Each structure stands twice: as C-alpha cells, then as structure tokens.
C-alpha cells in the first residue's frame, strides 16, 4: 500500500499554491519535517512562502484553526511568531485530499543559548506568549499530561510489532511506573493550565539581528508554563540553574511563575521520551520514517531506551531544580 504523502508531488504542491491566486516560479524545496510535509516555495516577484501540508488524520480542522487563531493573536500583539497567511478570510485550505496552510518565509539562525542576555530575551517573549495564553484554554487541542503523552503513548508502543518480544514486559513495567510517578508529581504540584507553544525547543526558535522568533506551533496545547521553558535548559544541574535564572529574569517581567512547577521538569521530560518513541512507532508506515530513523527497528535501540527510562524514573525522584536566592 502507498502512503498518502507519496501522492504529494511537487506538482501538487505548486497546484495548491496556484489555487490561492499566487504565481509560483517552479522552485520547491522540502524542509526538514516529518510529522507534516513542509516546503519552501518560490513565488514570482516575491520572497516566497512556506507551505505546510498537514498529515492526514492527525488534527481535526477545529484543532488546526485554534492553533492558527492563537498564532495570529500573538502576532497581533507584536510577539514574534510566524502566523499563517490569510486568503479571503481563511487560513486552512484543501486540495486533492491534502489540507494545507501557507506561511511567510522567514529566515534565521540557531540561538546562542550560552549567552544569558539571549535567554533573558527569549524569556520575555515566552512570558508574553503565556500572558495571552492564559486568557482562555484550547477546546480542541490536547492537554499536556499523563493521558495523551503518557498512557496513550505507552499503549501505542505496546501494540507495535516493532517492540521486540523480550522487551515487552520490561517496557510495560517501567512505562507504568513512570506514568504513575508523573501523575503523583502533577497531583502534588497542581499546576495551572494555559495555552502553550508546546514544543519550545531551540530548533523552533530562530535568531536574527532583531532577536528571536518562534516557529512551528503545530504542537500547541494546554499545560503548565514550565513546558515552554524546560527544553531550553541543558548541561549539568548548575548549568541548568544558571540558564533558568536568565530565562525567568525576562519571563517574570510579563508573567508570574509558580516555582512549584520546577518539580515538573523531569516528569515532562519523561512524557516527552514516551511520546517520542510512540510517535516513531505510530508513523513507521510512512516511508520517510524508516529512512530517517533506521536504528528504531534494531533491538539495540530498545535495550538502550529501557535503560534511559530507568534512569529517568530515578531523576524524577531526585529534588527538583532550585532558583538562586
């Protein structure tokens, strides 16, 4: 059987752009995206656009449009996100079974996160995102927590033929322990839920001389504020404390931060690990995945993965990061 994306030829991409009244110049370049298909598309006498073709069956139209509305509301407040382009009052379109959206083309480089001034700058914008995000919750997008990113991810892996038989029982046991510990810590902290970027890692922040801008709101969700901060931390415990201090210096200029949420950094990291493996298992029928992640089908991957999960369970039981006095 062919996968749906095998029908998404460059000719269909150009047809989609033309259907909105634009005149492509014939240049189409696939960008590094696996969940959706994303292309940089040249436009006659213009700087070009980026076209995102949504994975069939992943999001409902309502969920996609909620993300679009959030992005556009942030942009209207001069918060540097890349909102979808509007044609005749719409942002979501369909051609031959593919839903798609166009975005303005914006360049940038990776941010230097070793510079505390850059972290403070990023923190200010995340604080502004959360200030608007707290106004209401998404109705059609997921909640960051144990249901969607924990139990559902665990069940996806257990049902996958890619999980070797000898690792099925150990995975079932360690994943259960992890999700139960996540639930215990969430219940202990009882964080507030707001609308989030959801996937705010360094690769989704581009830097220019004018500062940072945020891309790829595709994983926007409801959840605790710390979800949009912890992925910007790296290194040992002291390194992360220094980075967090700089981030919050900027963040707190616009939004309060509940320090109790520091206890959720390792639980959220655990959910990301579970969700990532489930994502690979669920998408394995897409020909792009075996090519890009060939190691996933090796038994050695699962041995190392289980070891990582065991270490992650131990980290969740350690004292959380603390802010400097």
* Sequence ranges of the domains in the chain: 4-104, 116-316
Percent helix, strand and coil across the chain, each rounded to 5? 50, 15, 35
For 210, residues 6+ apart whose C-beta sits below 8 A from its C-beta are 80
Whether pTM exceeds 0.75: yes
Q: Which residue among 216, 219, 228, 286 is the active-site one?
A: 216
Q: Tell me how far apart the alpha carbons of residues 254 and 123 are, in angstroms, rounded to a whole number.
A: 9
Q: pLDDT at position 1, please?
A: 54
Residue 118 · residue 195 · CB < 8 Å: no
Question: Is the CATH number of domain 4-104 3.30.200.70?
Answer: yes
**Whole-angstrom distance, CA of residue 241 vs CA of residue 62:** 39
Please give the radius of gyration of the chain, using alpha carbons only, rounded to the nearest integer.
Answer: 20
The CATH architecture annotation of domain 116-316 reads: Orthogonal Bundle (1.10)
Which one is catalytic: 45, 155, 199, 285? 199
**pLDDT means over runs of 10, the chain (325 residues):** 86 97 95 95 93 96 98 97 97 96 92 95 98 98 96 98 96 98 98 97 93 94 98 95 97 97 98 98 95 94 97 96 87
Q: Note the pLDDT of residue 47.
A: 87
Known catalytic residue: 216? yes
Contact of 264 with 142, CB cutoff 8 Å: no
């Amino acid at each position: 059987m062919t996968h749906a994306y095998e029908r998404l030829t460059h000719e269909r991409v150009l047809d989609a752009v033309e259907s909105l009244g634009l005149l492509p110049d014939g240049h189409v370049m696939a960008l590094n995206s696996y969940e959706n298909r994303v292309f940089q598309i040249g436009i006659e006498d213009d700087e070009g656009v980026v076209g995102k073709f949504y994975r069939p069956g992943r999001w409902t139209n309502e969920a996609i449009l909620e993300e679009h509305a959030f992005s556009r509301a942030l942009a209207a407040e001069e918060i540097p996100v890349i909102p979808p382009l509007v044609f005749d009052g719409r942002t979501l379109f369909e051609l031959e079974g593919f839903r798609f959206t166009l975005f303005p083309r914006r360049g940038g480089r990776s941010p230097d996160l070793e510079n505390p001034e850059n972290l403070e700058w990023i923190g200010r914008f995340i604080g502004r995102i959360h200030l608007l995000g707290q106004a209401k919750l998404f109705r059609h997008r997921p909640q960051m927590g144990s249901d969607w990113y924990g139990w559902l991810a665990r069940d996806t892996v257990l049902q996958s033929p890619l999980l070797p038989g000898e690792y099925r029982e150990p995975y079932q046991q360690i994943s259960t322990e992890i999700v139960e510990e996540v639930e215990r810590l969430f219940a202990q902290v009882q964080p507030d839920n707001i609308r989030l970027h959801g996937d705010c890692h360094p690769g989704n922040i581009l830097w220019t001389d004018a500062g940072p801008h945020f891309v790829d709101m595709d994983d926007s969700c409801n959840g605790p504020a710390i979800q949009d901060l912890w992925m910007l931390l790296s290194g040992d415990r002291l390194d992360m404390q220094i980075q967090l201090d700089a981030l919050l210096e900027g963040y707190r200029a616009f939004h309060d931060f509940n320090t109790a949420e520091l206890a959720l950094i390792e639980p959220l990291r655990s959910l990301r690990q579970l969700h990532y493996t489930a994502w690979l298992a669920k998408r394995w029928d897409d020909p792009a995945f075996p090519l890009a992640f060939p190691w996933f089908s090796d038994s050695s991957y699962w041995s190392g993965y289980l070891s990582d999960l065991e270490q992650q369970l131990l980290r969740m039981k350690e004292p959380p990061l603390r802010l400097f006095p």
